Amino acid sequence: MSNTPDVAEFARRIRGHTLRMVHAANASHIGGCLSMADILAVLYARILKNDPARPTDPDRDRFILSKGHATAILYAALAERGFFPVAELATYCKDGSKLTGHISHGVPGVEVSTGSLGHGLPIAVGMAMASKADRRANRIFCVMSDGECDEGSNWEAILFAPHHKLDNLVAVVDFNKLQSFGRVSEVLALEPFADKWRAFGWHAVEIDGHDLERLATTFESVPQARGKPTVVIAHTIKGRGVSFMEDRLEWHYKSPNAAQLAQALAEVGA
């Protein structure tokens, strides 16, 4: 894939921005940001048809971040994509900044505000339904966390979307296996996860969520099954790219100190 180097560079840059933002703001959720860095890089550098110059174009692809706490990295992706100046990332969580700790639709490029889990997918389903009704060719992407798949509202939407044949809808689960208070398998097991989605009528694909080429080819080929929504279960590692954060629960909460930031930036090459 000819664009892979650009995507890798995009991923490297947004990881670096995110580490600096979370450090400067003394904020949480760096682990869940880094686990979906590669997913966002592929979407924003390669897949999504959304032009910063025409943010209300009705034919634009929609991106809904349902795990609205992992916000620094989406702001970084939007800035890198040209929705607002990269310099503004330095205001993250600062007094008066648009860049709130949970995702805000006051930020250019953000479609909806989330933060309470289990909200993004139903909204994305509504957008997919409206696009179908208007015979638009766009696609609706919704990135969810694994932990939020505990929410009943998601399963209402998961039941609903195949019934209405919304094959313009792509749910992406950032399956990093760690939720707020422990391992997903210990808090509330999701497995057999893909089988559950398939039983509800989805086309389910399981891939390495850090394999840029595989992510790109998967997203490009949606819908693979006509009349079915797609779920991409992206197996990821929380804190991916920073050795001391990888697969560690405490990095759902902690913010890197100056020394940790320096090491983390060196490790991600930013």
Partner 1 sequence: MRNTFVAALTELAERNPNLWLLCGDLGFSVLEHFASRIPERYVNVGVAEQNMAGVAAGIALSGKTVFIYSIGNFSTFRCLEQLRNDVCYHGADVKVVSVGAGFAYGSQGYTHHAIEDVAVMSALPGMEVFVPCDPHEVRTITTAIATSGRPSYLRLSRSGEPVLAGSEAWEPRTPRVLRQGRDVVILASGPIASACLEAAEVLASEMAVGVVSAACLKPLDEGFVRELAGEARAIVTVEEHIARGGLYAAVATCLAAARGRPPVFGLAIPEVAGKISTAGDRDALLARAGLSAAAIAQRIRNAIGGL
Q: Is 130 in the site for partner 1 (CB under 8 A)?
A: yes
Using CA atoms of 128, 131, 136, 137 in order, give the dihedral in degrees to the nearest 10.
Answer: -10
- From 3, 91, 100, 153, residue interacting with partner 1 (rule: CB under 8 A): 153
Among 2, 95, 96, 152, binds partner 1 (CB under 8 A): 152
In the complex, what is the shortest distance from the CB of residue 218 to partner 1, in angstroms, rounded to a whole number? Answer: 23
Nearest distance, CB of residue 14 and partner 1, angstroms: 26
Place of tokens 């289990």: 118
Considering only 133, 137, 258, 259, the residue that binds partner 1 (CB under 8 A) is: 133
Four-residue CA torsion sign, 208, 213, 219, 224: negative
In contact, 252 and 226? CB cutoff 8 Å = no
Question: Nearest CA to 143 among 67, 59, 219?
Answer: 67
Asked if 109 interacts with partner 1 (CB under 8 A), we say no
The answer to whether 118 contacts partner 1 (rule: CB under 8 A) is yes
Per CB under 8 A, does 103 bind partner 1?
Answer: no
Measured from the CB atom, is 118 or 147 closer to partner 1? 118
Looking up tokens 């929410």 gives 151
Residues touching partner 1, count (CB under 8 A): 30
Cα separation, 268 vs 270, in Å, equals 6
The CA distance from 186 to 173, in Å, is 18
Q: Which is nearer to partner 1, 66 or 176 (CB)?
A: 66
DSSP class of residue 107 equals S
Judged by CB under 8 A, the chain residues 29 through 58 that form the site for partner 1 are 58
Q: Which two three-digit tokens encode residue 72?
A: 């620094």
Residues that bind partner 1 (CB under 8 A): 58, 105, 111-116, 118-119, 121-131, 133-134, 152-153, 156-157, 159-160, 164
